[in-house]
A and B are shown apart, each in its own frame.
Chain A
Amino acid sequence: MKELTYLLSWLVLLLYAVSFWNYLRYFKEKSEALALQIRRWLLVAVSTHTIYLAMLTFLTGHLPVGNTFMVLASSAWFFVVVYLVLEVRLHEMTMGVFFLPVILLLQFISNSFIDVDKPLNPILSGMMFEVHVALMISAYAAFTISFITSVMYILLSREMQSKRLGIFFERLPSLQFFDNLSNHAVNIGLVIVTIGIGMGFYMAADVWEGKWALDPKLLAVVVSWGIYLVHFLTRKSIGWQGKRAAIVSVVGFNWLLFSFIIVTTFFSKIHNFQ
């Protein structure tokens, strides 16, 4: 059963890789005929992913949010769901080629380090904790969307300023489209993450009794919250639109990844799900 779960986790990765390859082909070949097939593959991938998460839940006896790498697997799943909804709503399939590498990275790290035998810290169960994790994952999903649209904005903008119009100009929608989407995503993410962090602090004060204030992970989270607040405020006050906002978003996302994986795993003493 355990082996099967691990096997499944790599199958999920493989399916996402196939999806990525599909999106890449679509991006290059501009063939609308591929569109239907692509979504079918991504649906297969996300369904397999669902089964994988269900098996994890079954094996460990709790939702797969008990440690860093399980959270990564759950986050990747949720990001794909959010992405699919966006893709269908916006009728824009060129985003996939930028989005799926993020998923591949998350899933790869998760697969490499996941360990279903690790016992669960008893303080990490309960409604409050699960809501906290769910909120954080939702916020991160929004920031991921903002990240990929910002990357696309920067690529398109650079191509246009270089005055040599190439594949991005041909394939991508307008700068305005990315700007709007990215800003909306940051706004939504910021609201959710504020609530999530607030809840976290409330719980931390309860559980860790004062020794949590200088934990690197908590600091890292506050910093990333600060970055997105900067994104919001500079946009509203001094008109950091477009490219600058995009750069802030890219920085923010990189910090998120760093803080989530590196800091949680190697530096944080308490907020590492142990």
Chain B
Amino acid sequence: MPIFSCGVRMDAKSRADCDLKIDSHFIRSVSDGISVEEMLLTRLDSCVESFIRLSDRDGFEATFVKAVQKALGLSLADVEARAYRAEGAVAVKRFLNRAMGLNEAGEVEGHIHEFRTDFLQARETGLIGPYFNRLYQRGLWLAEKARIEFNLQKKAVSPELVVSDLAQKIFGDLKGHSVFVAGNSAECEPFLQRLVARNIGEVFFLNGAGRKSVRGMCDQFHGKMVSRDGLGQMLRSVDLVLLFDQEMLDLIVEHDLSRVMSTRNNAPLLWVTLLEGGETATKQPDFSKFYNVYAYNRNDLHGIVEANLREYQKVIRIINRLVVKEIDDFFDWVNSSDEYRFGNIIGKSDAVQKILELIARISQTDISVLIDGESGTGKELVALAIHDHSGRSEKPFVTVNCGALPEGLLESELFGHVKGSFTGATSNKKGLIEEADQGTIFLDEIGETSQATQVKLLRFLQEGEIKPVGSNETRKLDVRVLAATNRDLEKMVEEGTFRQDLFYRLNVIQITVPPLRDRREDILPLTQFFVKKYSDVTHKTVYGLDEGADKKLKRYHWPGNVRELENAIERAVALSSGQVLTVEDLPPAILGAAPASNNRHPGGDLSLKDLERRHIAATLEEHDWNYDLVTRILGIGRTTLWRKMKEYNISN
């Protein structure tokens, strides 16, 4: 099914364009009258853009343009003229670029955050399906890769960022340093915002006659007003001057700058001149005679920004190559009809999508991750996915099941031992952590480790060092640690059976894999995957399940989670005689089970209405039709209760 993109360039100067917000109203007006599979609307400075997956594009483009036209209040021809469209690979590329914070032309815009907000909103609205989820995750992954490997987003791409970078390069921590804003220009606001974001100390303004807006700005940034008499005094203590005003410049020049510099003990000064009428207008102080003054004007800042952008272009060319590969992969995946498969992880539920998104965002860092979830939910697959998406994917991935080994053995398995350190240690042996050097180690069942091993693990996590059993020397290693548990570590910490400091070290990021019964929508794709897998293994041609078997699978509460499902399907495929699995092929445990019931999800496959009806009826039944009590329990009014009873036909 094809993917389209349609956008309208916005004119940032026009007031009307600024008002367009992507809210539920706007979303509804775009999706109105067309059957959408997936849709994402996003609004960035320069344009409003839509991505959509559906079979018929014509209707969509028309409604989108119309919705934008309506929202902006411009003429249709005007909006049409600014609209652009793309489909297929081009649309996918646009999507990936957006997710990475690149603009239309593939330049850095850094709006990753805004895009994310729009995406999450669309997901809340239920408009995001497997295609867009996947694209978004891949985009995030690429963005992280670009950030970590190519240093993207580190360099300043706006004059404001250049100034705060310069200040930081001169003064280090900006906390104890102050800035003087000389002038009365709206332009100083973005500069100040950047500086305040980096913890600049005091902000000074010059008090002049009738300068109301200066006072407003002063309040906004918690600044201090200085009178003209105090100017000389202030210049002696200030570290950064932002100059926007010729008049101010003249005022400052009146104060003998060389005397000011010497009284301030030649402490470094960053002097930024941003006059409105260009730089050449009048006399500028000659900064070259002050060796500790770093003076920049508008042209200098723009020169730096341009040089940085040129650097970016190089990086972006490399990234574009990655994007092209990503697009190929995407279409391969689309054609493979494994809609709900992402690497080794299968699932369409929101929970799984969120896990995949988290994996995309954290895999390329080295932080430790704690994966928790019931046994059989696939914690190792999550760990493997993190490893595969990291820069360590070519290096070893070592799994250790901490629960499977007796105490002393685990320690020597993990850290290695030297010859003669205990009976049976007939030679030196490398530990598994050392085997994983440069790669990833996955510590399954971390909750089963003893206190002694925990201490050693903690030391390894903190110092990156291990000491083999019986050895006196430590070895420094570069290993990423992923851990998993099906026990409640927090509770174990409270009970004192698990070390708190180790818990915090491991639990930098926590990924909780929910049990299968909490994500029933994943049962079908998982089943399909296993059916295919085992029909290949057994050389049978089984295509799927019949309705009865499907229902049984969905009803069952799956205490053994995905692993149990896999075993059930393996058995069923092995036993089946036809091309479709039937109820008879399923294990008796699943057939015999009562319909799934658990507190977290009482509804099964009921619609909200059905659920409401059943709940009201049950509550009334339980409390002997005592309306007062029941309204209090349900938290609704008496009239509402009566209305609902009538609506659902509930009566005594």
Contact = CB atoms under 8 A, between A and B. Distances in A.
A67 to B, nearest CB: 35
A242 B266 contact: yes
A133 interface: no
A183 B296 CA distance: 27
B445 to A, nearest CB: 29
B267 interface: yes
B640 interface: no
A164 interface: yes
A241 interface: yes
Contact of A40 (B154, B294, B476): B476
Contacts of B464: 36
Contact of B292 (A156, A173, A243): A243
Interface in A136-191: 156, 160-161, 163-165, 169-170, 172-177
Most buried by A among B154, B292, B294: B292
B50 to A, nearest CB: 38
A239 interface: yes
B307 A164 contact: yes
B265 A175 contact: no
Interface residues of B, number: 28
Contacts of A173: 172
B172 A176 contact: yes
Contact of A241 (B171, B268, B304, B476): B268
B170 interface: yes
A17 B172 CA distance: 31
Contacts of A174: 168-172
B170 A239 contact: no
Most buried by A among B154, B268, B307: B268
B310 to A, nearest CB: 12
B395 to A, nearest CB: 11
A269 interface: no
Contacts of A164: 303-304, 307
A240 interface: yes
A244 B307 contact: no
A176 B304 contact: no
B169 A175 contact: yes
Nearest to B297: A163
B481 to A, nearest CB: 15
Interface in B148-178: 151, 154-155, 166, 168-173
B296 A163 contact: yes
Interface in A176-216: 176-177
A40 B265 CA distance: 43
A244 B262 CA distance: 13
Interface in B304-350: 304, 307
Contacts of B168: 174
A169 to B, nearest CB: 6
A170 B169 CA distance: 9
B166 A160 contact: yes
B266 A165 contact: no
A244 B154 CA distance: 31
Contacts of B303: 163-164
B625 interface: no
B300 interface: yes
A157 to B, nearest CB: 8
Most buried by B among A173, A176, A242: A176
Nearest to B148: A32
B11 interface: no
A30 interface: yes
A242 B307 contact: no
Nearest to A30: B151
B210 to A, nearest CB: 36
Contacts of B169: 156, 160, 169, 172, 174-175
Interface residues on A, range: 20 to 34
B553 to A, nearest CB: 46
Nearest to A156: B169
A161 B171 contact: no
A239 B266 contact: yes
Contacts of A172: 169
B268 A175 contact: yes
Interface in A71-94: none
A242 B267 CA distance: 8
B478 interface: yes
Nearest to A245: B266
B504 interface: no
Nearest to A165: B304
Contacts of A33: 391, 478
B291 A239 contact: no
B413 to A, nearest CB: 24
A156 B265 CA distance: 21
Contacts of B268: 175-176, 241-242
Given A174-B169, A174-B170, A239-B265, A36 B478 contact: yes
B266 A240 contact: yes
A69 to B, nearest CB: 33
Nearest to B270: A160
Nearest to B366: A32
A100 B541 CA distance: 69
A44 B449 CA distance: 35
B422 to A, nearest CB: 29
A40 B166 CA distance: 34
Interface in B96-115: none
A238 B307 CA distance: 38
Contacts of B173: 176
Interface in B239-283: 262, 264-268
Given A174-B169, A176-B171, A163 B262 contact: no
A170 to B, nearest CB: 8
A163 B267 contact: no
A244 B304 contact: no
Contacts of A30: 151
B172 A241 contact: no
Nearest to A172: B169
A183 B172 CA distance: 16
B291 A243 contact: yes
- Shortest Cβ-Cβ A-B pairs, 3 listed: A239-B265, A174-B172, A176-B172
Given A175-B170, A239-B262, 8 more contacts: A40-B476, A160-B169, A163-B304, A174-B170, A238-B262, A241-B267, A242-B266, A244-B266
18 contacts: A33-B478, A36-B478, A163-B296, A163-B300, A163-B304, A164-B307, A165-B304, A169-B169, A170-B155, A174-B172, A175-B169, A175-B170, A175-B172, A239-B266, A242-B291, A243-B291, A243-B292, A244-B266
